[in-house]
Structure 1
Amino acid sequence: MASASLFRHPLTRLDRYILRQVLVSLISVTLGLVALIWLTQSLRFVELIVNRGLSPFVFLRLTVLLIPSFVAVILPITTFVVVQFVYQRLAGDRELTVMRAAGQSPLALAKPTLILSMGVCLLCFWLNIWVVPSSFAAFREYQFEIRNRIAAFLLQEGVFTPIAANLTVYVRKRDQDGTLHGIMVDDERSPEDQATIIAEAGRIVPGPLGPRVILFNGTRQELDAKTGRLNLLTFSENVINLAETSSDADSRFRDDSEVSIHDLLHPPHDEVRAQDIPKWRAEAYRRLAEPLTVISYALVALASVLTGAFRRHGGLARPLIGVAITVSLVALGLAVNNVASRNSLWLPLIWLHAIAPGVLAAWLLLRRQRMRVPVSPPLAATGGG
């Protein structure tokens, strides 16, 4: 009851002071880490600009679509780091000493951070349930479109253009209407059916798996891997798929990262194999449970600083233990998600991992272990006359 009444009271000036420090630090650290992760992850898309001649706008659009997923992943960790750092600095500057001397209990000192962590938890719910799946779907759709339709504007006159690692196209001339002249295609996508195709003219047309080129008046040369003979085929018209793969495996299938919660819990039978159903359900549970780790990690940080024996100058033992516990929880979360994605019987562990550490840390904060400065016995009790 005391804890409930504590949260019904308006924020005091001391609460706003702590809340402001934690909030500013959280925004700064989160933005810094997101920028760092964005920079490292975006390096793999630089090849699209350097080697394939795409505009910086395409690069920016691709990488920006990944930012919501970065934020959703790092917010629980940055919340712990910021809470641990701010309260440890308050202890090092003896501000916690003054606050405790003024009668502030551990729960009262934790109140502004708990309010902030609840807000961050709601933000993570919004990201995990709506924003991240939508951004992932847009990212994969745009990536698929670039990868399989890029040949329409990559082909340049007089240049051997690598459409993929095993597909190279040369065009001698390209008219304004899109007609190609003097075409040579080196196709090694199938190890058993490697071919070199030469044609007088051609035209690029869209196809279900990506762009296709219709070749006119040419020859197809194939080397028989078994006999070593060179087979020569003359054609008046031939169609070649310019997508990175010539099989139907490159068709667009949704990944569990871009599917809604409803579809994850009720996977479409025509889209998901039976062995992948536990993986989809584990993803749904992870999205719903992961935001709760924000509160749990914040409580672990608070418990590591505000509980135990009181020291005027703070201490490093408990904060280091809190860091070790949180690192172990992050690693344990990865293991739990991996196990649950293989067997649905372990799905409750996802909730247990998200909630149990916070419950234990909250219990430690609620214990009546308020350390007070010892008071000297009154003079009357000494018997002096």
Structure 2
Amino acid sequence: MQKVTRYIAGQTAMVTIIATLAICLLITLVQSVKFIELIVNKGLPVSEFIRMSLLAAPRYLVFLVPVVVFGATLFTYNRMINDSELVVLRAAGFSRARLSLAGMIVAAVSTLFCYSLTLYLMPATQIELRSIIMQVRSEWGAALLKEGQFTTVGGDTTIYVKERKPNGELVNVFYHNTKDKLTIIAERGAIVDTEEGPRIVVVNGNKQSFKDGRLHVLRFDRSTLDLGMNKQVQKLRWAEPSERYLPDLLFPDMNNADDLDRKDTLIAEGHSRLATPILPMTLSAIALSIIMGGQFSRRGQLKQVLTAIGIMIALYVNHIWLSNMAARLPVLISALYANALLPLAIALYLIIRPRRLKKRGKPAVDTASAAAVQG
């Protein structure tokens, strides 16, 4: 790779990385609101919050990277034009194709990165993220129960623990369920994790229930409180499209009723995973064909920049619309690929084709003056 290509590619890649990290940080702060409830109410440690934020990143990086690469390419080449770097290189004999090669290399690497996200990282991290969220919400006891505080669970259950010892023992447990009209008071208890899910085992207490207009009190030596989500139910939960790998999307299980009902949605998601990673190359090619196609001007390239941004927005919005509508109208799947590949082919053609020089016309001669001269 020539030094010029390495230089331009390095400039574009640096802008891409910095912009991606900055926007990722911003998105992480915005979407962290979803996890605040787990931190405040369920005692989720900060380290686990950071882990969950990292696991959520691949899902939005797939749609963020194409726009960032487009912006980095447009910014880098426009800056080099304003600094007269590209003007000098063009005067030295570099063609548009050779100068555009660096931007397309960065775009190609970004496309490979996006394919790694859509084909592996995104489903893998979504499965892990969903597992953590389900585990935190189901095994809430160890993190949620705060000594000396009343805790409401599910809207109809209230639990109070006077003291929690370092070994996990609970002292003076109070449990009240408004739906079942059941109250349990026990001297001691402990949180245990079973194959069916989390449970609280209480000893030396009594159950109070109100039935038939009478209060019934039953003393017990040992009892179990069933709390949280049943693990078997969690395992049988229908896997969302974002949690599935490409073969599971393109070839749904027709023996599964849920997959059969949402077959078009799964297939559309699979094709979207194949088409979306092409966008970094498509958008970068559009930026290069426009910014390098016009005449360089000392007044700036504002018109070309705005044109490229307008085309990018139209193409990207159309891609999102087609991705959503393809689940309802499978015939639009071919349009999804055409939206990504056709502009790429046109832009590459405009970059590669040799520039035709305009022929200068013969200078116009005043006929009256010519007649006077001849006279």
2:200 alignment counterpart: 213
TM (norm. structure 1) is: 0.81
Offset, 1:218: 2.9
Q: CA deviation at 1:71?
A: 2.8
Taking the aligned partners of 1:346 and 1:28, their CA distance within structure 2 comes to 35
Identity %, equivalent residues: 28
- On the 8 A contact 2:271/2:333 being kept in 1, the answer is yes
User: Which residue number in structure 1 is paired with residue 342 of structure 2?
Assistant: 356
What is the CA distance between 1:239 and its match in structure 2? 4.7
> Following superposition of structure 1 onto structure 2, how do residues 191-206 of structure 1 map, counting pairs within 5 Å?
193=179, 195-200=181-186, 202-206=189-193
Whether 2:240 is the aligned partner of 1:255: answer: yes
* 2-structure distance, mates of 1:41, 1:334: 20
After TM superposition, the structure 1 stretch with the greater mean CA deviation from structure 2, 282-291 or 170-179, is 170-179
Q: 1:358 deviation in Å? A: 1.1
3-state SS in 2 of match to 1:350 = helix
Of 62-71 and 206-215, deviating more is 206-215
Give yes or no for the alignment of 1:68 onto 2:58.
yes
Secondary structure at 1:65's aligned position in 2? helix
Letter in 2 for 1:33: I
Q: CA deviation at 1:347?
A: 1.8
Structure 1 window deviating more from structure 2 (41-50 vs 285-294): it is 41-50
Matches within 5 A, 1:173-192: 173-174=163-164, 178=168, 180-187=170-177
Letter of the structure 2 residue corresponding to residue 100 of structure 1? R
Residues 144-163 of structure 1 correspond to what in structure 2 (within 5 A)? 144-163=134-153
Superposition TM-score, scaled by structure 2 size? 0.83
Give the drift of 1:337. Answer: 0.9
With over 3 angstroms needed to count, the CA separation of the structure-2 counterparts of 1:277 and 1:231, relative to structure 1, is farther
> Hey, what's the Cα distance between the residues in 1 that align with 2:196 and 2:357?
70
In the alignment, what sits opposite 1:266?
251
Once residues 231 and 122 of structure 2 are traced to their aligned partners in structure 1, the CA distance between those partners, rounded to angstroms, is 31
The answer to whether residue 358 in structure 2 is matched with residue 368 in structure 1 is: no
Contact 1:149–1:211 (CA under 8 A) maintained in structure 2: yes
In the alignment, structure 1 residue 15 sits paired with structure 2 residue 15: no
- 2:371 is aligned to none
Partner of 2:372: none
| CA displacement, residues 81-135 of structure 1 (integer Å, 9 cap, x when unaligned) | 0001111111222222222222322212211111221122112111211112111
Q: Counterpart amino acid of 1:263?
A: D
Aligned to 1:319: 305
2:157 is matched with 167
Q: Which string of whole-angstrom CA distances, capped at 9 and with x for unpartnered residues, describes residues 272-303 of structure 1?
A: 33221111111111111111111001011111
TM-superposed CA distance for 1:72, in Å, is 2.6
Q: C-alpha separation between the residues in 2 aligned to 1:230 and 1:360?
A: 82
Structure 1: 5+ residue stretches without partners? 1-10, 378-385
The verdict on how the C-alpha distance between 1:30 and 1:94 changes in structure 2, with shifts beyond 3 A counting, is same
Q: Look up the SS of the partner of 1:272 in the other structure.
A: helix
Structure 1 residues 122 and 248, CA, compared in 2 at 3 Å: closer, same or farther?
closer
Partner of 2:24: 34
Q: For 1:371 and 1:27, how far apart are their aligned partners in 2?
A: 38
Structure 2: how far apart are the matches of 1:354 and 1:223?
Answer: 66
Aligned-partner residue type, residue 170 of structure 1: Y
Secondary structure in structure 1 of the residue aligned to 2:184: strand
Q: 1:232 to 1:322 in 2, by over 3 A?
A: farther
Please point out which of 87, 98, 102 is paired with 1:97: 87
Instruction: Give 1:308-347 correspondences, 5 Å limit.
Output: 308-347=294-333
Q: What secondary structure sits across from 1:290 in the alignment?
A: helix
CA deviations over 1:222-260 (Å, ceiling 9, x no partner): 699xxxx68757474765432169995896442211211
Greater Cα offset, 271-280 or 207-216: 207-216
- Output the amino acid matched with 1:75: V
For residue 311 of structure 1, give the secondary structure of its aligned residue in structure 2: coil
* Structure 2 portions without partners, runs of 5+: 364-375
Match of 1:290 in 2: 276
- Indicate conservation of the 8 Å contact 1:151/1:163, yes or no: no
Paired with 1:75 and 1:82, the residues of 2 have a C-alpha distance of 10
Judge which range, 109-118 or 194-203, deviates more. Answer: 194-203
More displaced, 352-361 or 40-49?
Answer: 40-49
Structure 1 vs Structure 2 CA RMSD: 3.2
Deviation at 1:151, TM superposition (A): 1.0
Q: Which whole-Å CA distance do the structure 2 matches of 1:230 and 1:61 have between them?
A: 51
SS of the equivalent of 1:204 reads strand
Segment of structure 1 superposing worse, 240-249 or 329-338: 240-249
Note closer, same or farther for the CA distance 1:247–1:185 as it changes in structure 2 (3 Å cut). Answer: farther
Report the 3-state secondary structure (helix = DSSP H, G, I; strand = E; otherwise coil) of the residue aligned with 1:347. Answer: helix
Aligned twin of 1:140: 130
CA deviations on 1:323-345 (whole Å, 9 max, x unpaired) are 01111222112111111122333
